[in-house]
């Protein structure tokens, strides 16, 4: 399956460009890959936030915390796996 590629030109301040270049280099990726990842993560965060706001609309904090406590209390206690004890 091929994905159609589009070009997006953005203007950023010089200091931001330098920070992007530095971080991309540290991660061993191109500026394009770094930007694609950053855009994708931010969009996912915004979409998830909007989803939860719509689902929880009209729900008060106290009832959410009570429900969370109920759910957590239903999880049986057990020892942490060896890999998590370090």
pLDDT tens, residue by residue, 17-59: 999 999 999 999 999 999 999 999 999 999 999 999 998 888 8
Whether residue 86 is predicted with pLDDT greater than 80 in this model: the reply is: no
Q: What is the pLDDT of residue 79?
A: 87
**Pick the residue with more confidence: 77 or 20?**
20
Q: What is the pTM of this model?
A: 0.63
- Give the list of residues 6+ apart from residue 12 with CB closer than 8 angstroms, or none: 20
Element counts in the chain: helices (H) and strands (E): 3, 0
* pLDDT classification of 5: cutoffs 50, 70, 90: confident
What pLDDT sits at residue 75?
A: 93
Distance (Å) of CA 17 to CA 14, 26, 37, 86: 5, 14, 16, 38
């Amino acid at each position: 399956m091929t994905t159609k590629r589009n070009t997006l030109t953005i203007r950023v301040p010089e200091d931001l460009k330098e920070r992007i270049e530095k971080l991309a280099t540290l991660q061993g990726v191109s500026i394009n890959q770094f930007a694609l990842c950053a855009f994708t993560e931010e969009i996912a965060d915004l979409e998830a936030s909007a989803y939860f706001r719509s689902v929880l609309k009209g729900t008060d904090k106290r009832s959410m915390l009570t429900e969370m406590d109920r759910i957590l209390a239903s999880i049986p206690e057990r020892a942490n796996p060896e890999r998590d004890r370090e």
